[in-house]
A and B are shown apart, each in its own frame.
Chain A
């Protein structure tokens, strides 16, 4: 019940295309869903996050779509750029808990010029 499942494991997109990464969770007590971006040799950096009271959140080229009934959320990267090439992790945490993040397996995104 603590798992967050992420797909695909890897993704190749042409420059200017849309990158879509999906995550699913089981624990309905989760109520905070961030996405992290990680470059090789670096720590995860918070990209965007959503809470279940909204179905979508957009920040620049990055959008989270959230489907509470399906217990799924996804990251959309519009107009993907080579500089977006990185590993992306979804995560989840539970209100009233210690704030620990449960991470998905990660998606390695390559944006081809």
Chain B
């Protein structure tokens, strides 16, 4: 069964450093998302991506964040200068359409020290 994969599973970085979180969505899916989940809290929408551009972003997704689909398979989230409050689980999701089922990856745990 196809699945969304994410790497790395855990990333530790120092405050102010840049990190890139990687995702491989399910092939033939057209819509891609990043969500984050601070420990013990709900899952929060960050950004949606379709047709090689951002279709919507949340207030959390400020200028420090960017997304890219550099080739036909990878989907990345970059945080330019990490802050302590960026520590969270980051989930990638993909979907065949805007109202279809979103499939989530296993997540990347980002720890900013």
User: Which A residues have a C-beta under 8 Å from some C-beta of B?
Assistant: 31-32, 34, 36, 41-46, 49, 89, 91, 93, 95-106
Contact = CB atoms under 8 A, between A and B. Distances in A.
10 contacts: A34-B102, A44-B91, A46-B101, A95-B98, A95-B99, A98-B56, A98-B98, A99-B31, A101-B35, A102-B45
Contacts of A49: 101
B48 interface: yes
Interface of B: 4, 31, 33, 35, 41-45, 48, 50, 55-56, 58, 91, 95, 97-107
Given A42-B107, A106-B42, A101 B99 contact: no
Given A42-B106, A43-B104, A43-B107, A97 B98 contact: yes
Which of A49, A89, A96, A103 has its CB near the most chain B CB atoms (within 10 A)? Answer: A103
